Amino acid sequence: QVQLQESGPGLVKPSQTLSLTCTVSGGSISSGSYHWSWIRQPAGKGLEWIGRIHTSGSTNYKPSLKSRLTILLDTSKNQFSLELSSVTAADTAVYYCASSRYGSGNAFDIWGQGTMVTVSS
Amino acid sequence: QSALTQPPSASGSPGQSVTISCTGTSSDVGGYNYVSWYQQHPGKAPKLMISEVNKRPSGVPDRFSGSKSGNTASLTVSGLQAEDEADYYCSSYAGSNNLLFGGGTKLTVL
């Protein structure tokens, strides 16, 4: 049973870079054909898909975030990561990592528990 | 692209059925059979309830069903139970490797 766990700083200063890691356990991040995504949710608001990386290493980003976003795959550590630069208060949210099997219609069947990130000085 | 449109709230009594809509455009909901539905209880991560418009993952009760007509997808919960009270979100592929979520619907079991 694959499980996902987010980790990273809970507080980031404005204009700095937000960095999070998602650790995959119970399976190999490089086996099969999966998309590994980041999704966020501001307090009391809805879900927002941020971007994803395929097992092959190819990435897709939400157009409005593309200029600030980098998602990387580290197969040696069984992890994938998120880097969001030039953050503002609008980036404050619970950040989830999630996976979807390629060909499943982009359905996120496994989620991490989420990690709260606050952007504040 | 804008988020998909869901009603902010829905409600029903135990045993009743309730349907939640998710409206998009021909570029997302209407253009692909890649609509998913998620259930989220307070403080918890979302849980996949429906994929590809009407497919139920293993373990999801058959009280949950999905459908689509044109640019609108729907989630129906039949035989409402107290534990169904939660927020529900739809999502859709929007082309060009982009994914959209709906704004969410708070389902109250009266």
pLDDT in tens, A22-35: 999 999 998 888 99
Q: pLDDT class for A112, splitting at 50, 70, 90?
A: very high
CB–CB of A107 and B47 under 8 A? no
Whole-number pLDDT of residue B19: 98
Give the phi and the psi of residue A61 in degrees, each rounded to 5.
-125, 150
- Per-residue CA distances from A37 to A51, B10, B99 (Å): 6, 29, 11
B103 to chain A, any CB pair closer than 8 A? The answer is yes
Longest dimension (CA), chain B: 41
CB–CB of A109 and B57 under 8 A? yes
Q: pLDDT class for A102, splitting at 50, 70, 90?
A: confident
A111 to chain B, any CB pair closer than 8 A? The answer is yes
Closest chain B C-alpha to A105 CA, distance in angstroms? 5
Q: Tell me: the pLDDT tens digits for A1-16?
A: 899 999 999 999 999 9
Instruction: State the burial class of residue B70 (Cβ atoms within 10 Å of its Cβ: 0-12, 13-18, 19+).
Output: exposed
Mean pLDDT over A64-70 rounds to: 96
CB–CB of B99 and A49 under 8 A? yes
